[in-house]
Structure 1
Amino acid sequence: MLTHAFSGLLAGWSIIIAVGPQNAFILRQGLARKHVGLVVAICTLADIGLIAAGNLGVGALVTAAPWALEVLRWAGALYLLYFAFQSFRSAATASGLRAGGGSDSVRTVVLTTLTITFLNPAVYLDTVAMLGTLANQSAGHAWAFSLGAMLGSVTWFAALGYGARALAPLVSSPRAWRWIDIGIGIVVTLLALRLILGA
C-alpha cells in the first residue's frame, strides 16, 4: 500500500510541479503576502476533488467529451491572455507593492483562483484523466495511489505559497515587482498561445 501511495505522490508532483497559471498566481500572492492561505487552500481542495473524481472514473467522461475540452481550451486561453495583460499593466504602472503586489480583494482572489484552476483544460486531462487512469491501474490500491497524489498537491501548494511568502522581503522594491510581473506575463502569454495552437 505504501509503495502505491509513494507512486501516487511522485506522479502528483510530476504533474503539479510545472510552470502554469495556477503556480504563477500562487507565487505572486505568496511574494505579495496577500491571502496566501486562502489561495493555497482553494488550489489544494480543488486538486483533491479532481484527483478523487479521476479515481471514481470521471476521467473516462472527460476523454469522451472532446467538445467540452475544446470550450475550456478557448475560455482558458482568453482568460490567460487577460491575466497576462493584467500582469503587464501592473509592471507598467507599479509604483510600489500597492500597485504591483498581488490581488487585494478576497472576492478577486477567490474568483481568479477558481478560474485559473477550472478553466485550464490540462487539469482535466492530467489531474482527472491521467491520475485517475494510473490510480485504477494500481492493482486494488487505487485509493492509496490517489491519496499519495493528493499529498503531492498539499505539499507542493503549501511549499510554493509559504515559501514565496518567506522570500517576500527579497522582492520588496517596485523594480523587483516589475520584473516579476513581466516574467509572469510572458509565461502566461506563452501558455495561452499553447492552448490556442493546441500544442
Structure 2
Amino acid sequence: MLTSAVTGLLTGLALIVAIGAQNAFVLRQGLARRHVGPVVAVCALSDLLLIVAGVSGIGAVVDNAGWVIDLVRWAGVAFLAWYGVSSLLRARHPMALEAARGDTATLAATVVKALALTWLNPHVYLDTVLLLGSIANTDDKPWWFAAGACTASIVWFTGLGFGARLAHRRLSTPRAWQVLDVLIGITMLAIALSLALGG
C-alpha cells in the first residue's frame, strides 16, 4: 500500500516537474502574486481529474480516438504560439513588468488561461492519462498509486505557486521580469513548434 503510494508520488513528480507551459504560467503568477490560489487550484484539480481518468481506464478510450489528440494538439499549438508571442511582446516594456503591477488580468481571464494551458496540451493526455494510467494499472494497488500521483501534483503546484514568493525579492526588478517573459515566450513557442511537428 505505502510502496504503491510512494511509487505513484515519485512517478507523478517525474512527469510534472519538467518546465512546460503550465509550470511557467504558475511560476509567473506566483512571482506576480496575482490569483495564485485559483491558478494552483485549477492546475492541481485538473491533474487529479486526469490521473483518476487514466487509472479508471479512460486512457484506453483516448488511445483509440486519435482524432481527439490531433484536435487538442492543433488547438494547443495555436494557444501556445499566441501566449509565447504575447510574452515576448510584454518583455518589450519592462517598466510594466514590476511584480506589483505586472499582471492586470482579471481573475476570470487568469483562470481561463490556466485551464487552456492545462487542457489544450496534448502532453497532459499522453503523460497523465495514458502513461500514468498505464503504469498505475500494472501496480498491485492502482488506487494507492493514483493517490501518490495526486499528492505529487498538489505538492508541486502549491510549492511552485506559493514558493515563488521566496524568489520575489530577487526577481522584482523590471529587468528580471523582462528576462522571465523572454524565457517563457521562447519556451511556449518551442513547445508549440514541437507539437506542430508531432513531437
Same fold (TM over 0.5): yes
**Hey, what does 1:70 align to over in structure 2?**
70
Partner of 1:126: 127
Instruction: Specify the alignment match of 2:27 in structure 1.
Output: 27
* 1:127 counterpart letter in structure 2: T
Q: How many residue pairs get matched?
A: 198
Q: What amino acid maps onto 1:25 in structure 2?
A: F
For residues 79 and 94 of structure 2, the distance between their equivalents in structure 1, rounded to whole angstroms, comes to 22
> What's the counterpart of residue 164 of structure 1?
164
Separation (CA, whole Å) in 2 of partners of 1:53 and 1:160: 24
1:31–1:101 CA contact under 8 A, matched in 2: no
Which residue number in structure 1 is paired with residue 186 of structure 2? 186
Deviations 1:139-193 (A, max 9, x none): 2x01000000000001110111111122112111111111110010011110010
Unaligned runs of 5+ in 1: none
Q: Does 1:18 align with 2:18?
A: yes
- Contact 1:28/1:101 (<8 A) preserved: no
1:92 partner letter: R
Partner of 2:37 in structure 1?
37
Does the 8 Å CA contact 2:33/2:99 hold for their aligned counterparts? Answer: no
What's the TM-score once normalised by structure 1's chain length? 0.96
163-172 or 124-133: bigger deviation: 163-172
Contact 2:32 2:100 in 1 (8 A): no
Residue pair 2:32, 2:99 contacting (<8 A) in 1 also: no
The farther-off stretch of 106-115 and 94-103 is: 94-103
C-alpha distance 35-132 of structure 1, shift in aligned 2 (>3 A)? same
The alignment's TM-score, normalised by the length of structure 2, stands at: 0.96
2:165 is the counterpart of 1:173: no
What RMSD in Å do the two structures reach over aligned CA positions?
1.4
Letter in 1 for 2:79: Y
Q: Secondary structure at the match of 1:87?
A: helix
Deviation at 1:99, TM superposition (A): 9.4
